[in-house]
Amino acid sequence: MGWVEIDGSYGEGGGQILRTAVALSVITGKAVRITRIRANRPNPGLRPQHLHGILALKELSGARVNGAQVGSTKLEFIPGKSRPRHIRVPIKTAGSITLVLQALLPAMAFVGGSFEVTGGTDVPWSPPVDYLKHVTLHALKRMGLNADIEVKRRGHYPRGGGLVVGEVKPWEKKRPLVALEWERIERFAGISHATNLPAHVAERQAKAAEERIRELYNVPVEIETEVSRSLGPGSGIVVWAETDKLRLGGDALGKRGKPAEVVGREAADELLEALTTRAAVDRFLGDQLIPFLAFAGGEIKVAEITNHLITNVWVVERFLGKVFEVEGEIGAPGTVRVIRKAEV
C-alpha cells in the first residue's frame, strides 16, 4: 500500500493540515501518514479537538487508524468504504465545533450524511458557527454543494455545551466558482448573540457594528439579535456583506471587561477592511474553499493570501498533484486559480 506522506510541521503547521489531509484520505481512498504533528507549537501533537475530527472521519469511512490519541505526533489513517451515516461528535469541552466540521464537510460532500456535534460554537481561534452557516455554506452552495446546519444551542469557552446539527447532500453537480472582484454590495446582515447575559449586550454589539458600517456604506444593514441560555455566559457577533459575487464576513467575540460596543466595532472593522481590497473572498473563506475548489474548478481573488491558504494548497496537492496556481504575496491580496480539476 502506498502512503501519502505529510509533514505536520509544514508551513502554518497547525491542526488544519490534519483536517484537510484526513478528509482527502477519505475522499481519495489513499492512506495517509502524518508525522511531526504540530511540532512547532508550545504543546505539540494532537489536541482533543483534532482527535474529534479524525474520529468523525474514521466513523464516516470505516477507517483503520493508528496514533489517534491526545499528544500523539504521528497518525496513520487507512480509509475503508465511506457511506452516508449519522455522525455524532461529543466534544466534552469548548473544543471548536466548526473546526470538526471543516474536516467532516469536504468528506461528507462525496457521500452525504448528517451530523450532530456538541462543543464550542463561538470560541477563540476558530470560525464562529454563524460564519460557517452564512458565509462558507453560501459559497459552497454556489459551487453546487447543498449543506444545512442549525444551531440548537450556543457553547462558549470554557464550558462548551453548544449543539449544532446538520445534513450534507451528495455533491453531484460540481460548479466552478469564479469570484474575483465584487462590483456592488446589495446589503449587510449579521447575527449578534448573547448567552446567559442581558439582552442589551446583543443589542449594543449590533448597534455599534451597524453604526460603523453606515459611516462608509449607504445600503441596508440588518443585524439580528439573539438571546439564549446554555452552560456558560458568552457573546459574539458575525456580520457579512452580501455582494454581487459572494459574502464576505467579519466577526468578534465578547469577553469579561470588553464593552459590547468594542465587540461590534471590531467585527465591522474586520469586514470593512476586507472590502477595501474589492476581492470577492475574505481571508478566512479563502483557505476554507481550497479543498472544494480543487474538485469544482474556478478562480477566486482573496482579500489576503494567508499562511493557512498556502499550507492548505500544499496539503491538497500532496494528494491530487498540481492543481492550483497562486498569484500574490502572503499578507496581500491575490488570486487562486484551478489549472487542472481533480477527479475522484
Q: If one looks up domain 182-275 in CATH, what number appears?
A: 3.30.360.20
What was the pLDDT predicted at 92? 87
pLDDT value, residue 1 = 66
Residues noted as catalytic: 308
From residue 84, give the alpha-carbon distance in Å to each of 60, 109, 247, 267. Answer: 7, 10, 29, 37
Q: What is the pLDDT of residue 48?
A: 87
The predicted model scores a pTM of 0.97
Give yes or no for a contact between 134 and 189, defined as CB atoms under 8 angstroms apart.
Answer: yes
Sheet containing strand 334-338, strands side by side: 177-179, 298-302, 334-338, 324-327
- Give the 3-state secondary structure of residue 312: helix
* Residue 307 half-sphere exposure toward CB, CA atoms < 13 A: 9
Q: Would the CATH topology of 86-173 be identical to that of 182-275?
A: no
pLDDT of residue 14: 87
CA distances to 7, 24, 43, 269, 308 from 38, in Å: 9, 19, 8, 31, 14
What residues does each domain of the chain span? 86-173, 182-275
* pLDDT per position as a tens digit, 13-37: 889 999 999 999 999 999 999 999 9
Quick one: cell of 135? Answer: 458565509
Q: How many CB atoms lie within 10 A of CB 279?
A: 25
Looking at residue 245, its pLDDT comes to 97
* DSSP track, 98-129: HHHHHHHHHHHHTT-EEEEEEEBSB-TTS--H
* Residue-level pLDDT at 42: 87
User: Where is the binding site for ATP, in residues?
Assistant: 102, 284-288
The whole-angstrom separation of Cα 322 and Cα 294 is: 10
For domain 86-173, give the fold: Translation Initiation Factor IF3 (3.30.110)
Query: What is the mean pLDDT of each successive set of 10 residues along the chain, which is 344 residues long?
Result: 92 91 98 95 89 95 96 97 95 93 97 97 96 98 98 97 98 97 98 98 98 97 98 97 98 97 98 98 97 98 96 97 97 97 90
**Nearest-angstrom CA–CA distance, 235 and 263:** 9
